[in-house]
Amino acid sequence: MTPEQQSRNTRALCELAPVIPVLVVGDATRAEGLATALVAGGLPVLEVTLRTPAALDVIRAMAKVPGGHVGAGTVLTPDDAKRARDAGASFAVSPGLTERLARACEEIDLPLLPGAVTASEVMRAMELGYSMLKFFPAEAAGGAKSLKSLAGPLPQVSFCPTGGVTLQNAPDYLALPNVVCVGGSWIAPDADVAASDWAAIETRARDARTLR
**Catalytic machinery residues:** 47, 134
- Rounded CA gap, 210 and 42, in Å? 9
143-152: b (≥16 Cβ within 10 Å) or e:
bbebbbebee
- C-alpha dist (Å) from residue 51 to 27, 56, 70, 137, 149: 12, 10, 15, 16, 32
- Rounded CA gap, 16 and 71, in Å? 14
